[in-house]
Structure 1
């Protein structure tokens, strides 16, 4: 016997009736942490409630918000939600239909956020005195964000529109999830060493969990230690992260961060044109002032004819020339007389001068001077140089001074 076959709608309707018939689910209060909170244009609020082990989808319709919600619902808040659990037949999923939402203290992430913010504030990481100025005319700008996504596309399009000559250097980083903060830190340090003029860090908007990488302590300290100015553009205008406080400049969005980092070339060109006009006007004033001075000097020169002064200077120059010539002539005579005396003294000291009086210069056959009889052998050739020539001779007999005395 075949079992009865049901349609999907029949099953969903049956399950919904089971939920509705359960008294406990018709009026229930659930506590948890808000996550993935989204405000729809219709006025409805879609979010999730979660604890350490599980989560449940929730919706609060616009009609229930007026009396049931007295504050701005945000991610990370610990709340108590009153409502009923039922099945959405079309989607086949169950969810909590909220009638009233009350705060149940600050969420764990917000507690951690506030504690870290206070700690870093007390350490001085947020002090305005340490903020580095953003370069006005950068050539290279580093970007630490995801390789894909709206943030990098917005930054690229904004940079091209404002100044296409500025080079963008992307360090692709994880911007959410496990290990995201480590890649952001690595990107900051890499670009800081690379030598860019400014660094932009950021991502698009999201829940507090999505943005949490920018609330990590290691990211804040990397920003603080960097030598390069850093602009933080994380999330939307309502999002403020620890990185925003630590950065040298905070922007509401990645697009705004790029606008702060990249100067508008149109404004730059207008500024140059204005400066050019100002400089031209000042130059005209300076030229006019010197023209007036020149006219004044021309009048002065006209009143004092320089031809007479020139004639007197010529006479003085002629006298100086004669004096110089006379001094040079006297010095030349004195130097010439000294030179003659030195020549005579040198001639008296010359060895060739002594040869005139019968002296000679004796050399052996090798051309070495003979300074002793022991350097000459009997029968050896010797040469004798006198004042007017050289005599070649042979040593027939050699006697020492002692032998000669005997």
Structure 2
């Protein structure tokens, strides 16, 4: 508590005591005038009037809380090292304050003293309530923790396992603190094969969360398989950097596992809650991502013994198999491989030698019988087929005689039509056909020019002519004159 605040509060208490003395003096004057003792109610009223004029602000630790359903007010007690004060706060004021009271909180109260006359009890009637100092920060951290937990960022199923033997470890911390030396010393002692990517950032101040997030992005982009976010011890206010919401979401979205080692064993931040692994100290964070050399030696020794035992058993099994194979008849006498097949061939050859002569004799008799049968059947079959072919020939001749005349007439009509349409028939009637040297029929005077040679086809030959000049004839006038 600052000296100026203590002075202000002492002055306020002094003013309150002065007002109480003045009220008491006025009461004494009344007593002297009446010369009668006061009743309990009057005395309590006098005290109540004196106390209710004292309005102060105070800071104390909550030692007990009574907030029962149905009560019109919340009752609690605040204390310090040498005194305790019972307090009460009406429910509407308590709900408006929005502070969930718990034992051990440091709170700042504003209100006035009052006296409950029926019981003779003094209370502090609280008008406003808020957490004092670290308590306010803890409330904000608790609210953020509940929000992120509701979103699932602290779910254990979301957190990823750490790599057993990381080749590259990212370290995000202050380059001037003791934490960086603790981590590097631990990694060098336990797992010197790991390569450390250090991002030196500020771990306190308003810009510290942004710097830590950028450091995480840089080490991940450089190939870190796991990221350590660490810092040494400090007050709760010093560690508030690691309770930043943006930093917490960045840790939750990090593509590689994140291990935090912030402060000491009892310190817990939002970053610890959302990280994949929370270590109590920076040294413990380094130990979490690195196997101990002693454990590696024990692990390799155990694996070597297991491998040697497995290899020995495999060699023994292979030797037993070889020995069993060596005792088999196959490898003792190669003739046994083909003994059964050779005997089968001999038996089949013997059966074949006995069966072939009998089968040949039987087949020879069958051929003789079929020849005799064919000799008897063939003449009748040939005669029957000859008669059938003669009948088919007669039918074909009869049908052909009726079909040919019809097609002969159609052919004659078609030939006459072709003759009428033939250009040779036109030429035979006295016309001629002129063709150019290329063989194209001359249909207009524009197809030739003076000096061109043309071939004129007539009835009995071709005339080779030269064009001396051309003259166009008006065909419409000629046709009209012919019509007249």
Please classify the TM superposition score into its range, dividing by the shorter chain length. Answer: 0.5 to 0.7
Match of 1:305 among 311, 333, 337: 333
- SS, match of residue 256 in structure 2: coil
Question: Counterpart in 2 of 1:229?
Answer: 257
Question: Counterpart in 2 of 1:119?
Answer: 147
Higher relative contact order (CA 8 A, sep 6+): 1
Alignment of 1:171-250 (within 5 A): 171-250=199-278
Residue 255 (1) aligns with residue 283 (2): yes
Q: How far apart in 2 are the matches of 1:196 and 1:132?
A: 15
Contact 1:77 1:110 in 2 (8 A): no
What's the CA shift for 1:265?
2.3
Q: Deviations over 1:114-147 (max 9, x none)?
A: 1111111111111112111101101111111101
- SS, match of residue 169 in structure 1: strand
Match of 1:296 among 324, 329, 336: 324
Contact 1:145 1:172 in 2 (8 A): yes
Match of 1:78 among 96, 107, 123: 107
Question: Counterpart in 2 of 1:162?
Answer: 190
Distance 1:311 1:299, change over 3 A: closer
Q: Which has the higher helix share?
A: 2
What's the CA shift for 1:149?
0.9
What's the CA shift for 1:266?
2.5
- SS, match of residue 259 in structure 2: strand
Contact 2:130 2:136 in 1 (8 A): no
What's the CA shift for 1:308?
6.3
Q: How far apart in 2 are the matches of 1:31 and 1:271?
A: 62
Kindly tell me the number of residue pairs found equivalent between the two proteins. Answer: 243
TM-score, normalised relative to structure 2: 0.45
What's the CA shift for 1:66?
9.4
TM-score, normalised relative to structure 1: 0.53
Q: How far apart in 2 are the matches of 1:166 and 1:65?
A: 52
- Specify the structure having the higher radius of gyration (Cα): 2
Question: Counterpart in 2 of 1:350?
Answer: none
Contact 1:201 1:230 in 2 (8 A): yes
- SS, match of residue 238 in structure 1: coil
Q: How far apart in 1 are the matches of 2:145 and 2:232?
A: 21
Question: Counterpart in 1 of 2:314?
Answer: 286
Gaps of 5+ in 2: 1-6, 17-55, 62-79, 85-101, 110-128, 342-484
- SS, match of residue 321 in structure 2: helix
Gaps of 5+ in 1: 1-18, 35-63, 81-102, 314-406
Question: Counterpart in 1 of 2:293?
Answer: 265
Distance 1:31 1:260, change over 3 A: farther
| Aligned alpha-carbon RMSD (Å) | 3.8
What's the CA shift for 1:220?
0.6
- SS, match of residue 211 in structure 1: helix
Contact 1:235 1:253 in 2 (8 A): yes
What's the CA shift for 1:197?
1.2
Q: How far apart in 1 are the matches of 2:316 and 2:278?
A: 49
What's the CA shift for 1:307?
4.8
Alignment of 1:7-22 (within 5 A): none
Q: How far apart in 2 are the matches of 1:309 and 1:23?
A: 119
- SS, match of residue 196 in structure 2: strand
Q: How far apart in 1 are the matches of 2:302 and 2:164?
A: 17
Q: Deviations over 1:8-43 (max 9, x none)?
A: xxxxxxxxxxx9xx88789x9974599xxxxxxxxx
Residue 129 (1) aligns with residue 157 (2): yes
What's the CA shift for 1:165?
2.0
Alignment of 1:63-102 (within 5 A): 77-78=106-107
Q: How far apart in 2 are the matches of 1:299 and 1:234?
A: 72
